[in-house]
Amino acid sequence: MKKERLNLAAQRIIRSITADSRDVQHFDSSPLPDKEILYRVIRDIFIILFPGYYGHSEMSFDSIDMRISYRVAKVYEELRPQIHRELIHGCQKDGSPCGNCEKAAEQLVFEFLEYVPELREALNLDVKAAFKNDPAAVDFDEIIFSYPGLEAVAIHRVAHFFYKYGLRLLPRIMSEWAHSRTGVDIHPGATIGKSFFIDHGTGVVIGETTIIGDNVTLYQGVTLGALNFPRDKQGKIIRNARRHPVIGDSVVIYAGATILGGETHIGENSVIGGNVWLTTSVPANTRVLLDNSGLKISEKKAHTSGVKDE
């Protein structure tokens, strides 16, 4: 009886799958990137980005050549086929195989590995920004080891590199893995400047077309999102339109604030208070607060560095 019921259940499931629209199936197609391999690749990339913190804690200058060379080779060997899979998948979807996917995948991995020193410098600035703006931080070690905001930003900076080169699946897999681990949701298309700090991290959402300047600090629960989704005459979403805000240099955005819209610009050196809801631009050197009487906008005489009570 049990075997018969299991067989019947399996057959019903199979019929439901084969009856689905081809739009939501992936049969007889090129293989998609393997998520588990990509997660492993990210871990290896972190060992390269933060040697001694991730991987072998006994890393020394005597062993660094061997250990880093091994990781670089490992990232190359594992990442190249995953990029190749996405490129082939894209060619098949377009119905126009280019015949150049393997060479393009190899070239892109080389370009990423050659970019790593620049990426490491950007992350060094992010670590220093966290230490500067969080009085609870004891030292750089604590930030690198335990701050979810830094982990999310580091993965974003990797994912954004591949997004700029036209990949979509790999960067999104990376960003969603970071989201599941840290509670920080950064679309890989978002452009983020130097010395960026997300404190606490939980609930932060940064949309695809967001542009963030240098020396910006965000606190938990901040949303940089879309006010609406532009549509064409047929009612279909226009997917490449700007719909997320621009955040100027040295802006501080406190917990729970929501800033929406592609036409919304927050001027440099401004402070956006907690739980503020903004859909209009704010000039430079402005303080926007929410008090008992509602939204209060005033000129900010001095820049606030984002220091908080702990």
Q: Are 266 and 259 spatial neighbours (Cβ–Cβ below 8 Å)?
A: yes
Q: 220-233 burial by CB neighbour count: b if 16+ within 10 A, else e?
A: bbbbbbbbeeeeee
Residues paired with residue 252 on neighbouring β-strands, in sequence order: 217, 271
In a domain, 5, yes or no: no
CA distance linking residue 160 with residue 153, whole number of Å: 10
Q: Are 255 and 274 spatial neighbours (Cβ–Cβ below 8 Å)?
A: yes
* Predicted local confidence at residue 169, as pLDDT: 96
Last residue of a domain, one of 123, 154, 183: 183
In a domain, 16, yes or no: no
Same domain, 282 and 215: yes
Residues paired with residue 66 on neighbouring β-strands, in sequence order: none
* CATH code: domain of residue 303: 2.160.10.10
pLDDT tens profile 192-207: 999 999 999 999 999 9
Q: Bigger pLDDT: 25 or 162?
A: 162
Task: Give kind and range of the element (H or E) at residue 70.
Answer: helix 64-94
Other residues' Cβ atoms within 10 Å of the Cβ of residue 116: 17
Last residue of a domain, one of 135, 162, 183: 183
The parent domain of residue 219 ranges over 190-310
Same domain, 93 and 125: yes
Q: Are 191 and 300 spatial neighbours (Cβ–Cβ below 8 Å)?
A: no
Contacts of 282 (CB under 8 A, 6+ apart): 265, 266, 267, 270, 272, 288, 297
Q: Write the single-letter amino acid at 207.
A: G
* Predicted local confidence at residue 240, as pLDDT: 73
* CATH code: domain of residue 132: 1.10.3130.10
Structure tokens given for 133: 């703006």
In a domain, 68, yes or no: yes
pLDDT tens profile 262-309: 999 999 999 999 999 999 999 999 999 988 777 777 876 544 444 443
Q: Are 202 and 222 spatial neighbours (Cβ–Cβ below 8 Å)?
A: no
Same domain, 162 and 228: no
The arithmetic mean of pLDDT across residues 10-29, rounded, is 74
In a domain, 3, yes or no: no
CA-to-CA dists, residue 216 to 133, 231, 242, 278, angstroms: 10, 32, 21, 17
Same domain, 235 and 176: no
pLDDT tens profile 73-104: 999 999 999 999 999 987 776 666 677 999 99
Task: Give kind and range of the element (H or E) at residue 156.
Answer: helix 148-164
Kindly report the average pLDDT of the chain as a whole number.
Answer: 89
Same domain, 176 and 266: no
Contacts of 168 (CB under 8 A, 6+ apart): 86
Residues paired with residue 197 on neighbouring β-strands, in sequence order: 217
CA-to-CA dists, residue 244 to 41, 164, 255, 288, angstroms: 30, 17, 18, 19
Single pTM value for the model: 0.88
Comparing 133-137, 201-205, 224-228, the range with the smallest average pLDDT is 224-228
C-alpha radius of gyration, the chain, whole number: 23
Question: What's the total number of domains in the chain?
Answer: 2
